[in-house]
């Protein structure tokens, strides 16, 4: 009996001890939890068997932290999420959720759940075989949520998430490109579902996903709208439009979705107490870069720097055998789908400290200060 008591006492003290140690861990002042698709994937797809991968050169050629080696990012350097994190004072990039070393205190800088090919709808991106859709990304955050409780203790974890953490969501393009508009799938989908009904389904699903994040203590959100899909080298190449033209249907769908997204976010701002949802107007930002590319120092807004096929190098994705442009900072588009780091830098700058035309109702610096 005495022995049992002393064992129990020992266990109790061990517990006290570990609680004291744990409570000494301080959360950093700024963290980002990143959800989305290949625009912000920081390497999750490296750990999936998927056709949507960027862990091959010359992707990452300008990513300083890896010495120019590919990291899984679908661009030549940093993504918009990387740059925004830096500018908001995050000590290091949010690590990919699926990376083996994303454990312990490493998650205090935030975590990246984004996955190339992923969409709002579960069925999006099937052609890639594997990708993590938004639904599962939220499930993954639920796992992180529990780890944060363990590391920081419940009250600090809650405070960290509600006050110091920014939740960014960049998703929706694949629901159009690799679902509704994808040549092999879209014929049947489009026969059965009008654009209105497809977009309604996207908006309702995303609303539920954002609300789930809110129930897990996310409060400061920034949600990107869908860019001008009809202007990316891939769409311009397969539809053979002229350099100054974009593909109408793709842009119309994006705009239709964006209008509804704005309303939905306003709704959430009204109905979820304490939450701030910012709309990042990626559509108008990218269109601004494309229209006035010269004034931002770009030499082309239609030809991909890395890619092959068609008039805009927009048919075959970027890889070791692709042709690559000489001046990577002179191209708005790195590859058939994704902006270059130079373009990402301009976009991030507007989101961090721009006016309500591009980030509303407040910008990210103001959101962080709340
Ligand atoms: C985790 O591994 C990745 C890839 O090997 C590396 O870039 C990153 O710096 C590592 N992070 C930590 C916290 O060790
Ligand atoms: C999407 O997939 C997730 C995970 O497999 C599942 O929990 C969810 O119910 C699915 N949602 C829909 C609308 O099918
Ligand atoms: C998070 O996971 C727990 C189970 O561990 C579950 O009860 C809860 O509903 C999940 N929350 C969300 C928002 O998915
Ligand atoms: C943000 O922009 C305002 C003016 O638009 C400027 O005065 C301020 O210095 C900027 N802040 C940062 C941190 O860049």
- Assess whether pLDDT exceeds 50 at residue 239: yes
pLDDT tens-digit series, residues 69-126: 999 999 999 999 999 999 999 999 999 999 999 999 999 999 999 999 999 999 888 8
Mean pLDDT for 333-359 is: 98
Which member of 30, 38, 173, 237 is catalytic? 38
The closest-lying atom of ligand 2 relative to the alpha carbon of residue 139 is: 4
pLDDT at 16: 47
Mean pLDDT for 54-60 is: 96
Pairwise CA distance, residues 74 & 38, whole Å: 6
Residue 331 or 27, more confident? 331
Mean pLDDT for 316-340 is: 96
Q: Is the CB of 212 under 6 A from ligand 3?
A: yes
pLDDT at 20: 45
Residue 57 or 49, more confident? 57
Pairwise CA distance, residues 81 & 67, whole Å: 19
Report the separation in Å between the CA atom of 366 and the middle of ligand 4, taken as the mean of its atom positions. Answer: 10
CATH fit for domain 23-226+244-291, picks 1.10.10, 3.10.20, 3.40.50, 2.40.128: 3.40.50
User: Does 331 qualify as catalytic in the annotation?
Assistant: no
Ligand closest to the CA atom of residue 209: 3
User: Does 338 qualify as catalytic in the annotation?
Assistant: yes
Q: Is the CB of 99 under 6 A from ligand 1?
A: yes
Domain edges within the chain: 23-226+244-291
Pairwise CA distance, residues 318 & 327, whole Å: 16
The closest-lying atom of ligand 1 relative to the alpha carbon of residue 101 is: 1
Q: Is the CB of 140 under 6 A from ligand 2?
A: no
Ligand closest to the CA atom of residue 369: 4
* pLDDT range class, residue 25, cuts 50, 70, 90: confident
- Cβ neighbors of 297 (< 8 A, separation 6 or more) are 329, 330, 342
Q: Is the CB of 349 under 6 A from ligand 3?
A: no
What does DSSP assign to residue 37?
S
pLDDT tens-digit series, residues 255-286: 999 999 999 999 999 999 999 999 999 999 99
pLDDT at 178: 85
- Assess whether pLDDT exceeds 60 at residue 176: yes
Per DSSP bridges, beta strands 165-170 and 323-324 are: unpaired
pLDDT at 331: 98
Least confident window among 72-86, 91-105, 179-193, 343-357: 179-193
User: Does 38 qualify as catalytic in the annotation?
Assistant: yes
Of 137, 142, 143, 147, the one to substitute when testing ligand 3's pocket (max ligand atoms within 8 A of C-beta) is: 142
């Amino acid at each position: 009996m005495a022995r049992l008591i002393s064992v129990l006492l020992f266990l109790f003290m061990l517990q006290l001890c570990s609680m004291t140690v744990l409570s000494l861990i301080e959360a950093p002042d700024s963290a980002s939890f990143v959800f989305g698709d290949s625009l912000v994937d920081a390497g999750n797809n490296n750990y999936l068997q998927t056709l949507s991968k960027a862990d091959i050169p010359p992707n990452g050629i300008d990513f300083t932290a890896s010495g120019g080696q590919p990291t899984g990012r679908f661009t030549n350097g940093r993504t918009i999420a990387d740059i925004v994190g830096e500018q908001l004072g995050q000590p290091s990039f949010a690590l990919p959720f699926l990376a083996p070393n994303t454990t312990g205190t490493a998650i205090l800088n935030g975590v990246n759940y984004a996955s190339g090919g992923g969409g709002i709808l579960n069925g999006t991106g099937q052609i890639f075989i594997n990708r993590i859709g938004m639904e599962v990304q939220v499930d993954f955050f639920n796992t992180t949520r529990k780890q944060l409780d363990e590391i920081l203790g419940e009250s600090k974890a809650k405070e960290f998430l509600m006050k110091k953490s920014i939740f960014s969501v960049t998703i929706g393009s694949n629901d159009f490109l690799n679902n509704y508009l994808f040549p092999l799938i879209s014929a049947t989908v489009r026969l059965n579902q009008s654009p209105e009904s497809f977009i309604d389904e996207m908006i309702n699903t995303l609303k539920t996903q954002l609300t789930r994040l809110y129930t897990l203590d996310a409060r400061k959100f920034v949600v990107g709208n869908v860019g001008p899909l009809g202007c990316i080298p891939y769409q311009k190449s397969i539809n053979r439009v002229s350099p100054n033209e974009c593909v109408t249907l793709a842009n119309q769908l994006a705009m239709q979705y964006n209008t509804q997204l704005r309303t939905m976010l306003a709704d959430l701002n009204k109905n979820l107490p304490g939450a701030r949802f910012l709309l990042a107007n990626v559509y108008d930002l990218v269109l601004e870069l494309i229209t006035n590319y010269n004034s931002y120092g770009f030499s082309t807004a239609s030809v991909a720097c890395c890619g092959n096929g068609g008039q805009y190098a927009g048919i075959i994705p970027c890889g070791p055998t692709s042709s690559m442009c000489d001046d990577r900072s002179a191209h708005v588009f790195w590859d058939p789908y994704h902006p270059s780091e130079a373009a990402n830098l301009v976009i991030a700058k507007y989101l961090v400290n721009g006016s309500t035309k591009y980030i509303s109702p407040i910008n990210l610096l103001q959101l962080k200060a709340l």
